[in-house]
A and B are shown apart, each in its own frame.
Chain A
Amino acid sequence: MMRLNRSKNALTLTALAATVAMVATVVPAQASTDKVGVTSNLIKLGISQPTDGPASAGYNKVAPAMKAYFDYINANGGVNGRKIELKIENDGYLVQNAVNKSISLVDDGIFAFVGSLGTANNLNVATALDLKNTKIPSLFVNTGYSGFAVKKDHPSIFSLFPSYYMETKIIGEYIKKNFPNKKVGIIYQADDFGDDGLAGLKQAGITLVKEVPYASLSQADPRSGPAWITQLNSAGVEVAIMFGVTSATAAALGAAARARYAPQWILGSVGSDVTTLNTLGITNNILNGAITGSFLPATTDTADSYIKLFRDVNTQYNPGVAFDSNVLAGMNTALVTAAAIKAAGPNLTRSGLIRTIETKGKSFLSASLTPPTYSTTSHAGYAGFWLGTFNSSGVLVPETGKYKVYTTDSAKGKVVASTYKRPAVSGKGLFK
């Protein structure tokens, strides 16, 4: 018995020694953190997002699209003479991995995060890495959670997409104008994402005759669709809002089509990417007539100078990948990032970049049809949407033929028609 114990202790010590050896790679001390990740000819950026796993569908096209745009810029001289390197980490959309991979990126010496995906992931990364005090910039996070726009809570995080709350406020105004006296119902994700959307509708003064929550997991069970549809149908809903992820949107639209239940569908932008919906079995025929919003031009609008540029870049630097709204979003995020880095000038620092976005962000080159609204007090990005209707070939057609953009805020502000005249893309989208 004694011998056994001793050999066990020896084993324990060996294992511990191995761990210590693993832990004991000494890192060089960093003098100042403000210029980490920047050299005279290179800027290191990092993104944590899902490349694999159940939640990766569609989202896994965003980071490669960003990288493709940076490759395009690098091939044409970089920004202020510096090339942009994007380190892509795969977190499988799991919180614990997102934190681990983000710490690993910081340990790798990145200058800033850009476009990291997911509300919970970004929130956990923010607390785990103490972004509030370390002031490592996390640019243009890929989520519509309005909390990231609050500078007081997240001084180094910039949101880019309009918030879920703004989106449903605008949808609410649209319903009041176009479908008065119709019975409105909603299917929404039973978490903060869906709750934000629900709150926006209520702020717009919409009365919902039926609210159907669905349990959020990384992916909705496609077989739940019939139960949701039965609830909307039996409540006599005529205008049905679907505010959830793409897999849930597909489940709802598919089940409705099969039950020949045809309300006026209004889809949240998160779940309305036509390419992904097609791959989930929702044909253009089913989608025909559904309304959804976007803050970027339609992916099919080749007359738009930005879309044309992005499509060309996609063909050359992201070969074999279909140009969809995920690719578009990724390219646009990269474009705005490059614009911000350019504006921050040759002496690039983390604090300088944050200050530049706050003060000059409003005028950054961007494909969005509403301008970013950054200021020294707010880190809210775009603040508006245009709404359109899918036609029978899956093209999103703006309501009046032209993009009619409405803007609002994440509070009690009114929904107003935008007067913004977006400049055409200049200098081929390059920032030498």
Chain B
Amino acid sequence: MEKLISASLIGLSQGAIFALMALALVLVFRSTRVVNFAQAGQAMVSTYIGWEVVTRTDNYWIALPAAALAGALLAAIIETFLMRPLAKRASHGAIAPVASIIASLGVLGVLHSGAAMIWTTEQKLFQSPVSVNGIEIGSTVYPFSQADMLIISTVIIVMLIFAFFFQRTSLGLSLRAAAFQPEISRLAGVRVDRVRTIGWALSGAAGAIVGVLVTPGSYLSPFSLDILLVYGFVAAVIGGLESPQGAALGGLILGMSLSFTSIYVSSGLTFIVPFVVLLLILIVKPKGIFGGGNSRNA
């Protein structure tokens, strides 16, 4: 029973992280049809900004919004100066469907090497503002701490804010419109370019929050968030790539699968589980759980 609870708690806290990373990818995908592999790099650079703030101010609560802001700014820059011109230049020919993925891989490489040049590859640490020690219930300590609760609640708050933003605000609605019907939105007076940049900025902020949340439990290096990108992407695809609810569910499914196979089957399967889970889901739903639509449409 303790084992079962532990496995669920570990899965929940891991799943929350995957979900937020997935959400970051979904935000970009649904506003600009780009699968942004640079997300891990953007999050990493923003987290370094957070680290700089923490080491100077010794205050996590300043670092979190600072990193989010840096992440938003970085994303907006990448969108404005790279992705937007790219969408126009690489709109035809064989490259068109893959140009943005490829460019984002390039950006990832630039961010990796740039960060390594600035901050070296030596790991950086910062402390969590709350206790990282497991919670004691009765005589058992569960592998679930205030820090995990902070992660889960932050993820839930961020998700709720985004949901409210998309459903209730006019900017959010135009964002959705621009994503689904760019031409019609443009005719309706929506400044599509600006709206897309906002989509990227929100995503950059979400990614930065991921970085600042997970680093206290581990460490920061130019590569430390890469594996989260893989998991986040798998979670996003499971959820259907377009839906924030899908990202949340995808993250949870992946987090739970990893935790339960690790604890009940073998922890040697960490890298195989995502592939198996993804394939099983895509066989049943080729466009992910919330993807819907005709699977044969390009």
Contacts and interface: CB of A to CB of B under 8 A. Distances in A.
The answer to whether A and B interact is yes
Interface of A: 52-54, 56-57, 60, 190, 212-215, 217, 219, 221-224, 226-231, 234, 250-251, 254-255, 257-261, 279-281
A213 B121 CA distance: 27
A231 B142 CA distance: 12
B219 A231 contact: no
A251 B224 CA distance: 13
Interface string B4-25: 0011001000100100000000
Nearest to A276: B123
Interface in B259-283: 259, 262-263, 266-272
B227 interface: yes
A238 to B, nearest CB: 16
A53 to B, nearest CB: 7
Given A230-B7, A254-B217, A254-B218, 15 more contacts: A54-B221, A60-B121, A215-B270, A215-B271, A222-B218, A223-B218, A226-B10, A227-B263, A230-B6, A234-B3, A258-B145, A260-B134, A279-B122, A279-B125, A279-B219
B199 to A, nearest CB: 28
B270 A259 contact: no
A231 B267 contact: yes
B87 interface: no
A212 B264 CA distance: 11
Nearest to B2: A234
A281 B218 contact: yes
Contact of A219 (B116, B125, B223): B223
Contacts of B132: 258
Given A223-B214, A260-B141, A281 B267 contact: no
7 contacts: A52-B121, A222-B218, A228-B267, A230-B10, A234-B6, A258-B145, A261-B141
Contacts of A251: 218
Contacts of B123: 57, 279-281
A197 to B, nearest CB: 15
Contacts, number: 100
B60 to A, nearest CB: 15
B124 to A, nearest CB: 9
B221 A258 contact: no
A223 B223 contact: no
Q: Determine which residue in B258, B262, B269 has the highest number of CB atoms from chain A within 10 A of its CB, and name it.
A: B262
Contacts of A234: 2-3, 6
Contacts of B14: 223
B267 A214 contact: yes
Contacts of B3: 230, 234
A400 B277 CA distance: 52
B133 interface: yes
Interface string B201-227: 000000000000010011101011011
Nearest to A231: B263
B6 A215 contact: no
Given A190-B268, A215-B267, A215-B269, A221 B6 contact: no
B143 interface: yes
A294 B244 CA distance: 51
A142 B173 CA distance: 59
A221 B14 CA distance: 12
Contacts of B269: 215
Contacts of A222: 217-219, 224
Contacts of A280: 123, 125, 219
Contacts of B7: 227, 230
B223 A260 contact: no
A38 to B, nearest CB: 35
A258 B145 CA distance: 8
A254 to B, nearest CB: 8
A219 B262 CA distance: 17
A419 B258 CA distance: 49
B141 A221 contact: no
A258 B133 contact: yes
Contacts of A230: 3, 6-7, 10, 143, 263
A268 B239 CA distance: 41
B106 to A, nearest CB: 18
B137 to A, nearest CB: 12
B267 A213 contact: yes
- List the 8 closest A-B pairs by CB distance, nearest first: A222-B218, A213-B268, A190-B268, A226-B143, A227-B262, A259-B134, A54-B223, A234-B3
A214 B14 CA distance: 17
A144 to B, nearest CB: 21
Contacts of B263: 227, 230-231
B133 A217 contact: no
Given A53-B121, A56-B121, A259-B134, A227 B141 contact: no
Contacts of B219: 222, 250, 279-281
Contacts of A215: 267-272
B216 to A, nearest CB: 9
Contacts of B226: 54
Contacts of B122: 57, 279
Contact of B133 (A52, A56, A260): A260
Given A215-B269, A215-B270, A255 B143 contact: yes
Interface string B25-62: 00000000000000000000000000000000000000
A190 B267 CA distance: 9
Interface string B230-260: 0000000000000000000000000000110
